[in-house]
Amino acid sequence: MNLDWLQVCAEGQTTPCVAPIQLAYLVALLIGAVLLVVIARRARDLTTATLSLMAVAIAINIAVGSIAVFLRLPIYLDSIGTVLVGALAGPWAGALTGILSNLIWSILPIPGGAGPTAAFFAPVAGVIGLMAGFWANRGVFQVRTDDVRVGGFLALATGILGAAVAFLVVQATVGIPDLAATEPDVLLANQTQFVLMALGFVVVGVIVGWLAGRTVFAFQGDDPRIRPYLQVATAIAAFVLVFGIVRLLFAPSGYFSTVDGVLDDGTPDDFLGGASLTGLAVQDPAGLIGAFVVALLVGAGALAWARRGDNARLFPVWVGGLTTGLVAAMISAPIAAGVFGGVTGGGTDALVALFRTLGLSVFQSAFAQGLTSDPLDKTISYTIVFLILGALPITVRTMYSRGETTVAE
């Protein structure tokens, strides 16, 4: 199999390879063009209520997103409006909201805007809107804890978990091929191997998810297992998420190990009052055990919380957010790497710098940063949208035909 077309140039390498920048444009242009054509056709069907919601949603995206940039948070929070429109008015309106948000943000004199940064990520925002609409149609914002559709979400989550476990197993046994190899031939071989492995992980995930959906999670009618399963799944999800975040922050080379009270350019970082947090990085194995215990406690807490009332229905919301984040990371990484060398002027730059010091390439750092920020960001955004939809007055919600089908009472 010839995978030359996929080979991304190493730093300094000239031929034969696809420069990340060209790849980024190819991907962005392709997605952008397809989206624009479809959206232009769909835009005629948008109602006045949808259009005025979109205007507000765009303003929300930009306003909240610029606060996140200003505070140098390691997440974006710039797609709350996009997800909201996707949920209330459908995928196409959501996609258009995302694209327009990023284009308009670029021309506004506020943090994160005033430059082409946001505009380059417009295709990503479009895809986020599409996915939000897709998930809303599948009922992520609506399913109750005794809904048979819960099975699908559980199967999907199991699939994702399966792929992740496969990755960890391979990493621990065979090892992940070195993508920072300097020898062109070795690099090519490693890259090919990596792509094949990645495909393998996806296949494993799909099979695990499919099997789970057909067997354990094949619910019918008002199956009494649905509620407890969902509650346990919520607890496991919380465990995995917290474990990941704690490791991300407190691992020996985690986020806090880089916060030393000084900005990249040498000036004091007054956001945290010049505090050095490097001492918060906990060495292994104490750190590993600590993270495990903390995550376990939080998981137990999540279980107790999920058993109260209908709280467990946030689980599908998180599945939606997580998958949207994964897709967003995959599309945005080449753009970030190609256009800005991964640096976009926001709080996520600290993550990029961190991954670079760990020895990852420009592209890999951008991708790793995306994989860290995006799923978390989208999960938070989906949760916020879920809460907003719940708080939305009935008079506003009923203006949208999907308001009743995609939103829980």
Query: C-beta of 119: minimal distance to other proteins in Å?
Result: 9
Give the whole-angstrom CA distance, residue 258 versus residue 276.
Answer: 9
Count of residues near other proteins by CB under 8 A = 71
Q: Which is nearer to other proteins, 326 or 353 (CB)?
A: 353
Across the strands, what pairs with 268? 262
408 and 390 Cβ atoms separated by less than 8 Å: yes
Q: Which is nearer to other proteins, 321 or 342 (CB)?
A: 342
Stretch that binds other proteins, among 214-222, 243-251, 278-286, 340-348 (CB under 8 A): 340-348
Interface pick for other proteins out of 168, 180, 186, 293 (rule CB under 8 A): 180
Footprint on residues 100-119 left by other proteins (CB under 8 A)? 100-101, 104, 106-110, 114-117
Q: Which is nearer to other proteins, 44 or 220 (CB)?
A: 44
> Is residue 125 near other proteins by the rule CB under 8 A?
no
Q: Which is nearer to other proteins, 2 or 395 (CB)?
A: 395
Q: How far is CA 139 from its chain centroid? A: 19
Q: Which is nearer to other proteins, 66 or 145 (CB)?
A: 66
Footprint on residues 57-96 left by other proteins (CB under 8 A)? 58-60, 62-64, 67, 80, 96
> Is residue 44 near other proteins by the rule CB under 8 A?
yes
Interface pick for other proteins out of 40, 174, 186, 207 (rule CB under 8 A): 40
Footprint on residues 235-264 left by other proteins (CB under 8 A)? 264
344 and 120 Cβ atoms separated by less than 8 Å: no
CB atoms within 10 A of CB 220: 7
**Residue whose pair of structure tokens reads 């197993």 in the numeric block:** 169
Residues 6+ apart with CB under 8 A from 288: none
306 and 318 Cβ atoms separated by less than 8 Å: no
**Residue whose pair of structure tokens reads 């996915």 in the numeric block:** 131
Residues 6+ apart with CB under 8 A from 168: none
Interface mask (CB under 8 A) for other proteins, residues 371-390, using x and -? Answer: -----------------x-x
Query: C-beta of 63: minimal distance to other proteins in Å?
Result: 5
**Residue whose pair of structure tokens reads 């300094």 in the numeric block:** 12
Interface pick for other proteins out of 7, 142, 231, 365 (rule CB under 8 A): 365
103 and 58 Cβ atoms separated by less than 8 Å: no
Give the whole-angstrom CA distance, residue 314 versus residue 303.
Answer: 12
123 and 32 Cβ atoms separated by less than 8 Å: yes
